Structure formats: structure tokens, C-alpha cells
Amino acid sequence: MPETLQRRPPPVEGRGWLEPLPAATRFSFRGGSGAIEALSRAYGVPLPTAACRAASAGPRAALRLGPDEYLLIAPAAEGASLAPMLATALGSLPHSLVEVSHRQVAFAVQGPYAEWLLQSGCPLDLDLGPFPIGMCTRSLFHKAEITLWRTGPTTFRVEAWRSFAGYVVELLADSALELPA
């Protein structure tokens, strides 16, 4: 499939509460404390030590999704240079670093009804208290796995596998029909 087709965002144009996010370079990273320290220095983002938390520096982000699992997100333009730089920094330390850029796409769900829209298909309590800014996790939206990151009081970044992105967007749009005009 041509590169342009692989990176096309889901059809979300014209909906102020749902915006496609730019194409990104993504890595799934796993490693012990030595690898985490080396990667943090090279990547320029201190990887979070608390579970289900995200850290960012400029356009780069690191989401801690498991005890030793992180999702690294950077601008698409950095992909070609980032992979070898991180591999060099990790050297012979035990780790797993897998580029997963084409696996998923991202969009922002935002505005005063963002929590409500996401909770129409997500079992988590997304109120600011239990799900504060900077929290991230894997969850389900109806039957699709998503990665959810609260980036602001009324803004969430949703990462969905490319094959499920249209499904997630259409279910969100269906829920939005209940919103006031």
C-alpha cells in the first residue's frame, strides 16, 4: 500500500470536538532500569516511573503502559533519525524497541463533552479526579482497544489501531448526535 494511504487519518474533518492529529513516529519500548535511564537520556524525555502516566518534552512523549512497557511518540519527521539514535544509546542493554508507527493513528477528543463522549463506549471513570491530566492507559472503546491519554482538562489523545480507527470515530460521532447543538 502506498505510504500516503497508510498514514491517512480517520475521517474526522468538520467536527470541532474531534480532530485528527499529525502522523507520528511510535515505538513500543520495554526494558529494565538501565535501559530506561539510557533511553530517557537519548530520547530527551524522562520516562515516567509511575504507572499509567505520561511525560513529554516538546513534541516528544513517553506513555507508561505497563510495568516495563512504554509507548514513545515523536513527530513523523524524526522517525528516520530517531530509531538508530535510540538503538545506539541502548547498545547491548537488554531491551525491546519496536517501531509501530504504522500500526495506529491518533486523534484528539476535546471540549466540554469530551469525557462524556469517551465514556459512551469506555468503561473507565474519566472525571479529572480519578483520571487527571497526564494519566494514560489502554482501554476499550466498545470493542476496539485504544490508548487514552488526558492531555488537558477537556482534551484527550486517543490512539487507535489503524484498522479500528474508522469504527471508533463513527461510534464517537454516533454518540455526539445526543449532544446539544
| Residue pLDDT, tens place only, 22-38 | 999 999 999 999 999 99
Residue owning grid cell 466498545 = 142
**Residue 8 pLDDT exceeds 70:** no
Segments making up each domain of the chain, as ranges = 14-176
Binned at pLDDT 50, 70 and 90, residue 181 comes out as low
Identify the pLDDT of residue 68: 87
Provide mean pLDDT across the span 162-168.
94
* Three cell numbers written together for 143: 470493542
Identify the pLDDT of residue 7: 46
Identify the pLDDT of residue 45: 97
Q: Which residues contact residue 1 at a Cβ distance below 8 angstroms, ignoring those fewer than 6 apart?
A: none
* Three cell numbers written together for 9: 487519518
Identify the pLDDT of residue 13: 53
Provide mean pLDDT across the span 87-95.
96
**Residue 4 pLDDT exceeds 60:** no
Give me the CATH topology for the region 14-176.
Answer: Gyrase A; domain 2 (3.30.1360)
Distance CA 57, CA 81 (A): 18
Binned at pLDDT 50, 70 and 90, residue 16 comes out as confident
Entry pTM: 0.90
Question: Contact, 42 vs 124, CB < 8 A?
Answer: no
Provide mean pLDDT across the span 128-157.
97
Binned at pLDDT 50, 70 and 90, residue 44 comes out as very high
* Average pLDDT score over the chain: 91
Provide mean pLDDT across the span 75-81.
94
